[in-house]
Amino acid sequence: MALLEVEKLHRRFGGLHAVNDVSFQVEPGQIKAVIGPNGAGKTTLFNLISGALAPSSGAVRFHDQEIQGRQPHEIAARGMARTYQNIKMFAGMTALENVMVGRHIQGRAGFLASMFHAPWTWPEEKAIRDRSMALLELLEIADCAHTPATSLAFGQQRAVELARALAMEPSLLLLDEPAAGLNIYETAEVGRLITKIRGLGVTVLLVEHDMSLVMDISDEIVVLCFGQKIAEDLPPAIQQNSEVIKIYLGE
Amino acid sequence: MKRLLAILPLLGVVVLVQLLATWTGTQFYLTQMTMAAYYSLLIIGLCVLMGYAGQISLGHAGFFAIGGYLSAALTTLNLVPHRAEWLVRFLNGCGLLAAGTDLYGGKILVVLPWAAAILAVLTAAGVAVLIGIPVLKLKGHYLAMATLGFGIIIYRLVLATSWFGQADGISGVPPFVLLPGLTVSGNVSGRVQNYYIAWGVLVFGLFLLLNLMNSRIGRALRAIHGSEEAADAMGVNISRFKLQTFVLSAVFAAIAGVLLTHFNGGIGPSEAGVMKSVRYVAIVAVGGMANLWGALVMGVLLNFLSLRGVFGSYDDAVFGLILILIMLFAPDGILSLVSRKKRQVPLPEAPQDEEA
């Protein structure tokens, strides 16, 4: 049974078919990549899956339930986490606090309990802090825990963003260009972290431009071009696919 | 516990101010300190909404007025002519009414301050829900304009309604017995007591909000301020949290309105005026937006100076000017001017080319 099923997904912006009749599945435990030239509809596809956008037609099934058109926070509560191409750190908060926000859905404390600092919220608060700290350690940035997140180096912010997403205990993690803006060393580092994350039992779906990263870590690759799926195969087969070579290199 | 300890020095200052005023025979200052404390209660509530959740409101004088006007109207409306009606009989049966005599010996029957206060605060909360649901979908300038519109409506409503005394407002509001021996009133004999009541309420409010900001909820609110999109993807129900914060700040404003009205013995339409709302926003900005302590200190200081008449008839102009100057020279609040040097952090590394 697939963890995520995308079926005939379609999104129009006026006359533009940004995502056109795209179907594929993500199996549990996989690292699956979506590649394609600029403007292929990769980020739109992510926004449709995570609920930031509603599809014009088609279905998204997650854990066998239809989630298309639902609010992002509802989809998040079902175990889907995501990162962004342009890292969205919460400004004015430390790296640790950023990760602690990721544990929002695991917490129960509401307005009144928080205002009165109710004793029953203390263990919950401690668990949130401990788990967030452990994730920063896992991603090897525990030293930066108390630094304001937006003053960290770009690569470190990526790691904080990953820790924040993992704090949600997701079953599926969507990564939107995790290597964007990173140099080759940092990219290799991110690749290593992603395989480490898969090792925790988290399924990963990523959009990426960096071919070496995609070929290194993916189990399967979907190729999009002008909103349509033109290929879906294992990495070696994608490298040999004449149509894929054509759209990337020209004839 | 740490937050509790941070509040202790504040309590020390509160006691010190009272002792100094008593020793130097300047107890009349305590009256303005009491009023400033109630205004500051509204301001720290607004600080959570603006500075932490990132939602502006130019209508908070409206919620203050709902609290103040409703408790004033209910505790002064003589129900003797309506004694036979079922609602009045029902309220009386519940023990929510108080009988007495007026200045001329006539019989009066009014709603008890406790009942009026609860009704006034609940009404403010209800109005905040009704206004907040549509209005909080807006962002930035649009939200500012919409809340400004709400403030203007409340202002014109109290000016136009005879039950609210129109341009005269409502006077003769009775004292509010909080607990036996603890009465909110403007009696000179109760000046010290009222100073401590007001500051007790304010410090307790600050304590609640400091707790809130250092909790799961506070983190979610700051995350909304940082990036709504990312907070949403972390499972934070943005619209519900914005609404709850809006209601919370409206409740703080309404409680301030109720208590200050009983302390002053009345309320007038200027309390509902748009310039009051602008003043509150200006004070939150001066305090540093996301800074409850800054909001409290500036709230007390500027309101005290204003109430002492330091700004003369240029009162509103001064607050307008403060808002402009703060936005131009210290958008992070007046305290940031002091700490700017040491807060300078190196810029994050510029992102390299995508294809690298």
Which of B286, B280, B308, B311 lies closest to B298 in space, CA to CA? B286
Distances in Å between the alpha carbon of A28 and those of A203, A223, A251? Answer: 6, 20, 37
Q: Which of B208, B220, B229 has its CB closest to that of A101?
A: B220
How many whole angstroms separate alpha carbon A207 and alpha carbon A226?
15
Q: Write phi, then psi, for B316 (nearest 5 degrees).
A: -65, -35
Tokens at B171, concatenated: 């006077």
- pLDDT band at residue B332, thresholds of 50, 70 and 90? confident
Phi, psi of A203 (to 5 degrees): -80, 140
For β-strands A203-207 and A31-35, DSSP reports them as parallel
A71-75, A177-181, B221-225, B232-236, range with the lowest pLDDT: A177-181
Domain ranges for chain B: 34-275
Determine what percent of chain B is predicted with pLDDT higher than 90: 66
- Measured between CA atoms, the residue of chain A closest to residue B291 is A92
The pLDDT of residue B7: 87
pLDDT band at B342 (very low <50, low <70, confident <90, very high): very low
Torsions phi, psi of A57, nearest 5? -160, 170
In angstroms, the CA B331 to CA B337 distance is 10
**Residue B295 pLDDT greater than 80, yes or no:** yes
Residue range B48-61: average pLDDT? Answer: 93
At residue B256, φ and ψ (nearest 5 deg) are: -60, -45
Check residue A94 and report its DSSP letter: B
Position B322, amino acid: I
pLDDT computed for residue A209 by the predictor: 82
- The whole-number pLDDT of residue B340 equals 55
**Interval B14-24: pLDDT, tens:** 999 999 999 99
Q: Predicted ipTM?
A: 0.91
| Residues from chain B contacting residue A88 (CB–CB below 8 Å) | 226-227, 229-230
Domain architecture of chain A: domains with CATH? 1-79+170-251 (3.40.50.300), 92-169 (no CATH)
Find the mean pLDDT for residues B61-83. 92
- Residue pLDDT, tens place only, B129-164: 999 999 999 988 899 999 999 999 999 999 999 899
C-alpha distances in Å from residue A48, one per residue of A9, A178, A231: 8, 18, 20
B149 and chain A in contact, CB less than 8 A: no
φ and ψ at B253, to 5 degrees? -65, -40
The confidence score (pLDDT) of residue B351 equals 46
Backbone angles phi, psi at A5, to 5 degrees: -125, 120
Chain B environment of A81 (Cβ under 8 Å): 233-234
Residue B280 has pLDDT above 50, yes or no: yes
DSSP bridge pairs for B111 = B97
Whether residues A114 and B217 touch (CB distance < 8 A) is answered with: yes
Interface check A153 vs B, CB under 8 A: yes
Structure tokens at A189: 């580092």
Task: Calculate mean pLDDT across residues B33-54.
Answer: 95
Kindly give the pairing relationship between strand B266-267 and strand B170-171.
Answer: antiparallel
Chain A nearest-CA distance from B208, in A, is: 5
Q: Which of residues 193-232 of B touch A (CB under 8 A)?
A: 208-209, 211-212, 215-220, 222-223, 225-227, 229-232
Q: In chain A, which residue's Cα lies nearest the Cα of B346?
A: A151
Does the CB of B24 have a partner CB in chain A at under 8 Å?
A: no
Alpha helices in B24-99 (DSSP H): 28-47, 60-76, 86-93
What does the pLDDT average to over A102-118? 92
CA distances from B89 to A35, B75, B85, B174 (A): 75, 16, 6, 22
pLDDT in tens, B250-261: 999 999 999 999
In B, which residues are within 8 Å of A110 by CB distance? 217
- Rg from Cα positions in chain B: 22
For chain A, how many residues are written? 251
Query: In this predicted structure, what is the pLDDT of residue B347?
Result: 44
Q: Is the pLDDT of residue A42 over 60?
A: yes
Tell me if B274 sits within 8 A of B64, measured CB to CB: no
Q: How far apart are the first and last CA of chain B?
A: 50
* B352–A contact, CB cutoff 8 A: yes
With a CB cutoff of 8 Å and minimum separation 6, the contacts of B111 are: B74, B75, B77, B79, B91, B96, B97, B98, B119
Say which residue the tokens 């071919």 belong to.
Answer: A211
CB B184 within 8 A of CB B174: no
Residue A244: band (very low, low, confident or very high) from pLDDT cuts 50, 70, 90? confident
Contacts of A34 (CB under 8 A, 6+ apart): A42, A45, A205, A206, A207, A208, A221, A222, A223, A224
Q: Evaluate if residue B29 carries a pLDDT over 70.
A: yes
A85 touches chain B (CB under 8 A): no
A90–B contact, CB cutoff 8 A: yes
